């Protein structure tokens, strides 16, 4: 039986709990986030055991079946192969516990930062799926031109005030007051996450409320 922070995993995945915990510590996840992941791990292990499959039988098709089972049962998390289940499967593949399967789709460092941000929103902030989708859209747009150092966590991002200013000025031209306010809220959350995680050398969160929440609308020029 594997134990992590008071949660138990029985079945074929039990022996992988200690290594999984060490990986979480290395990536600086909060304890309660690790507990949430182990809940998915425990369910997956029970699911394999119920089908009388060893861990080696956790093929891509079976992974798809597992997330479909979580959706059917109404779980709020671990409902896709990309999020929590994807993190767990990636760990098990790196550990050599399950077959490599199809070659993974290469993701840019920016996309991996956004994935980590989404994971944080779901498992440490407990936001709704709709809010998380919106925050992901904003994070993806903002980080697209940002230089990200590192292929795996921890990353390091070089973000300067002019980059924040340019992004928000551009968004202000495209949006109404309410929509623009939602952009600033999402960006503030992203910058806070990056600083707390240690992926930025200094905090820029405090600059957004004072400088950008009341950016004036810029009227597009028209000859008529």
Q: Structural domain boundaries of the chain?
A: 2-94, 109-212
Can you read off the two tokens belonging to residue 179?
């929509």
Q: What is the pLDDT of residues 117-129, one digit of tens each?
A: 988 888 778 788 8
Q: Which helix (H) or strand (E) holds 132?
A: helix 129-143
Domain 109-212 has CATH 1.10.150.130: yes
Q: What is the pLDDT of residues 131-152, one digit of tens each?
A: 989 999 999 999 999 999 987 7
pLDDT at position 211 over 80: no
Give the pLDDT score at 146.
94
- Dihedral sign for Cα atoms in the order 2, 8, 17, 42: positive
81 CB-contact burial (10 Å; exposed 0-12 / middle 13-18 / buried 19+): middle
Taking each helix axis as running N to C, give the angle between helix 177-197 and helix 129-143, from 0 to 180 degrees, rounded to the nearest 10. Answer: 80
Closest C-alpha among 160, 162, 165 to residue 200:
160
Q: How confident is the model at residue 79 (pLDDT cuts 50, 70, 90)?
A: confident
């Amino acid at each position: 039986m594997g134990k992590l922070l008071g949660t138990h995993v029985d079945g074929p995945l039990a022996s992988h709990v200690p290594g999984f915990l060490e990986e979480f510590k290395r990536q600086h996840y909060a304890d309660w986030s690790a507990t949430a992941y182990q809940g998915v791990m425990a369910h997956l292990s029970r699911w394999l055991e119920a089908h009388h499959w060893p861990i080696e039988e956790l093929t891509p098709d079976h992974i798809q079946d597992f997330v479909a089972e979580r959706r059917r049962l109404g779980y709020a998390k671990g409902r896709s192969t990309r999020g929590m289940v994807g993190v767990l499967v990636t760990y098990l593949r790196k550990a050599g516990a399950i077959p490599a399967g199809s070659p993974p789709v290469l993701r840019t460092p920016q996309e991996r930062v956004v994935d980590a941000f989404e994971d944080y929103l779901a498992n440490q902030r407990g936001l709704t799926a709709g809010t998380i989708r919106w925050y992901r859209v904003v994070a993806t747009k903002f980080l697209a031109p940002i230089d990200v150092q590192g292929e795996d966590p921890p990353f390091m991002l070089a973000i300067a005030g002019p980059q924040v200013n340019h992004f928000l000025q551009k968004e202000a031209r495209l949006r109404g007051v309410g929509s623009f306010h939602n952009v600033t809220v999402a960006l503030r959350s992203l910058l806070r996450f990056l600083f707390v995680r240690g992926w930025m050398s200094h905090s820029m969160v405090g600059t957004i409320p004072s400088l950008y929440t009341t950016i004036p609308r810029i009227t597009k020029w028209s000859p008529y």
